[in-house]
Chain A
Amino acid sequence: MSANRWFATGNFFSAYRDEQRIFATHLDRAIFATFLTALFVWPLCFEVSSKNMLVLDNILVAMVAIIGLNLVTGFAGLISIGHAAFVGVGAYTLALLARTIGDSHVLITHAWPLMLLGCGGMGALFGAFVGLPALRLKHLYLAIATLSFQMIFQWTINFLPMFNQGQTISIGRVFWFGGEVSRKDHYFFWYYVALTIVVVFGLAVRNLLRSRYGRSLVAVRDNDRAADAMGMHPGLTKVYAFALAGFFAGVAGGLHAYLYRGAGIESFTLQQSITYLAMAIVGGLGTLTGAFWGPAAIRLLDLQVENLVEWLTAIMPANMNLATALKPLTFGLVIVLFLMFEPRGIANWWRICRSYVKLWPFRY
C-alpha cells in the first residue's frame, strides 16, 4: 500500500491482506465512523416525537429482516414468499414464552438480548426445516414451499388457543441498567438496540459475504452444477441459506415483539411477506446496502401515500374507495418500475455515486 492512505486514486495494494480491508482508505473509514456517530447522537440533540421514533424503529427492524431475505433471495437466488412467517416465528417464540412463564418474568424483561438470540435460533431452525425441499426442488417449486409455510403459519396461529388465536399476546417492559425502560423512553431505547443490531449484523454479513460461506451462496445462485463440481453440496448450501435468512428474520421478530410489547398475527401475514420482497427488490437484490435502502424507501413511501390518502379523503369524502386503493396501487407500480428500469435497486445508484467520488478528481 502506498503512503497516502486517504485517497483511493493513485493507490495500489501490495499484499493480499491489504485488499481484504472493508474500508480501503482512511477517508472511507472516517466517513463511516462519522455517519455512525451521527446516527447514535442525533436523537439526543433534537426533540423527536414518539410517533416518528416508532417509524424509525420500524425501519431498523425491517432492515434486520431484509438482511436475511436478501441473503436467501438476493445472494442465493431462492425466492422466499414466507419471510414474514419467519419473522413471526421469532415474535411468537417470545410470545409463547411470555404466555408460559408470565410476560414480566425476569428472563423476558432482563435477559432480552439472550431472548433475541433465541428468537433468531428458532427462526434458523424453522428456516432450515422449510428449506429442506431445496435438496430436491428448484426455482418456483421451492418458492411454493415457502408460500405453504406462510399459509400453515397463519393457520396455526389463527386457530390454536395456545397462540391466543392470533390476538395480541402481550410482553412486559424490559429493564436496562437504569431500571425499567419507561413508556417515554421505550421507542428511544429500542432505536438504540435495533441500530446496534443493524450495525453489528451489517458488518458481520459484510464479512460473511467475502468468506467461503458467502461465496457459496452466490455460487448456487449462478450455477449449481458448477458449484457441485467445486465441491459444494448445492442442496445443503440452499438449506443453509434458508437457515441464515431464518435467523435474521427471527431476531427481527423478537425485536418487533419487544417494540410493540406484544405479538399478533396481523404483522406476519402474506401481505407483509410481499412487502418484505418489495423492500428487497427496491433496495437491490444481492447487495448488502440494498437491505438498508429498501426498508427505508418503502416505509417512507408508505407514509407519503398515507398522507396523500388523508388529504384526498378530506377533499372528496365520496371517493373513499379510490383513496384506499391508492396504497396497493402505488406499491405495485413502484415494484414494477424498479424491476423494469432498475433491477439492481437503489443500491446501484449508491454504487454509481460512490465510484464517482472514489475516482475524483478523475472522470474514470
Chain B
Amino acid sequence: MNSLVVSDVTLAFGGLYALSDVNLTIQAGLITSIIGPNGAGKTSMLNCISGFYHPTRGAIRFGERVLTRASPHQVSSWGIARAFQNIELFRGMTVLDNLMLARHRKLDYSFWHAFIYMGRASRQEAVNRAFVEEIIDFMELEPYRKHIVGGLSYGVQKRVEVARALTLEPQLLLLDEPMAGMNIEEKEDMVRFVLDIQKERHTTVVLVEHDLGVVMDISDQIYVLDFGQLIGSGRPEEVARDPKVIEAYIGEN
C-alpha cells in the first residue's frame, strides 16, 4: 500500500493563504486525522490532495504518483476517494445509481456493447451490481437502496457519501467531517463504519472532524492546522498535551 506525502504545500487565494508550507505524511493502513478551528484550511488540504485545487507551491505524492497537478478524475482512478463536507451526491438519482456511478471506471465494456446490452455489458453490470450491494450491506443502507437521494435525511445522505467513496475501492479514503450534524446514535454508527473501513477493508483513512472526542479515540496520528499552518502533530495523547494546540482551540472559544 502507498503512503501519501504532502511536502511544503502552499495554497494562496490572492493574498489569502489557505495553506502555508504544510508538510504531512499519511501512513498506509492507519487512521490519520486533520483537525483545526473553522477556516483553518482542512477542506483546502483535501481539495489539494483530490485534485480540485492545485497548490501554489509544493508537491503531493501518493506512492510513485505525483498528484500536484492531477485532476480529480485522475486522482480517483489512482485509488484516492473522497466524501465531501457539503454533500455532493447525485441528488436526483437513487442510492443504487449513485453507487453504480462510482463503478464507472471498473466497467470497461465498449460503447457498442452498451447499445446491445448483452454479453459483456450485462455480465459486468451484474458483477458490479453485486459489489455495490456488498457496500450497501457494509454501510447498512439496505432500506434506502431504491430511494431518491435528495429525499433522504441528512445523516443518511452523509452515509451514502461515504458508501459512494468506498464503492470506488480506494486505497486511501478522505472523509471531510462525516459526522457533522449527526445525532449521537448516527455518530456512533459512523465511528464504527470508519473503524471497519480501516480494519476490514484495509483502507487508509484521512479524517477531518470537529468532534475531538471521536478524533482522540480513533486516530493513530493527528495533524493540527490553524490559519493554514501546521501547528502540531503526533499521536492523540501527544497532541492533547501540546500547548500550541490547546491555545489554538481555547483561543477560538
Contacts and interface: CB of A to CB of B under 8 A. Distances in A.
Interface of A: 15-17, 19-20, 204, 207-208, 210-216, 218-219, 222-223, 225-234
Which 10 residue pairs are nearest across A and B when measured between Cβ atoms?
A211-B114, A207-B117, A222-B90, A228-B72, A231-B105, A16-B126, A16-B129, A226-B88, A204-B115, A212-B107
A204 B122 CA distance: 14
Contacts of A208: 114-115
A227 B101 contact: yes
B235 to A, nearest CB: 31
B69 to A, nearest CB: 15
8 contacts: A20-B125, A219-B101, A222-B90, A226-B84, A228-B51, A228-B76, A229-B50, A234-B73
Given A211-B113, A226-B89, A229-B84, 8 more contacts: A212-B103, A212-B114, A222-B92, A223-B88, A226-B90, A229-B76, A230-B73, A232-B104
A1 B140 CA distance: 24
A218 B91 CA distance: 11
B71 interface: yes
Contacts of B116: 204, 207
B91 A223 contact: yes
B13 interface: no
Contacts of A15: 126
B19 interface: no
B38 interface: no
B159 interface: no
Interface in B110-168: 111, 113-117, 121-122, 125-126, 129-130, 133, 164, 168
Given A225-B52, A227-B101, A230-B76, A218 B90 contact: yes
Contacts of B105: 231
A214 B113 CA distance: 12
Contact of B109 (A204, A211, A215): A211
Contacts of A16: 125-126, 129-130, 133
A228 B73 contact: yes
Contacts of B168: 230-231
Interface of B: 50-52, 71-73, 76-77, 81-82, 84, 88-93, 97, 100-105, 107, 109, 111, 113-117, 121-122, 125-126, 129-130, 133, 164, 168
Nearest to B82: A229
Contacts, number: 102
Nearest to A215: B101
Contacts of B88: 223, 225-226, 229
Given A20-B126, A223-B88, A223-B90, A213 B76 contact: no
Given A222-B91, A223-B89, A223-B91, A230 B117 contact: no
Contacts of B82: 229
B76 A222 contact: no
B97 A215 contact: yes
B93 A222 contact: yes
Contacts of B90: 218-219, 222-223, 226-227
Given A20-B122, A230-B102, A207 B92 contact: no
B150 to A, nearest CB: 9
A204 B115 CA distance: 5
Given A207-B116, A208-B114, A211-B114, A233 B97 contact: no
Residue picked from A211, A214, A219, A229, most chain B C-beta under 10 Å: A229
Nearest to B102: A230
Contacts of B89: 223, 226
Contacts of B117: 20, 207, 210-211
A294 B204 CA distance: 51
A345 to B, nearest CB: 15
A229 B170 CA distance: 12
A229 B75 CA distance: 8
Contacts of A210: 117, 125
Contacts of A213: 111, 114
Nearest to A22: B117
Nearest to A212: B107
Nearest to A286: B92
A306 B92 CA distance: 39
Given A211-B109, A212-B107, A17 B77 contact: no
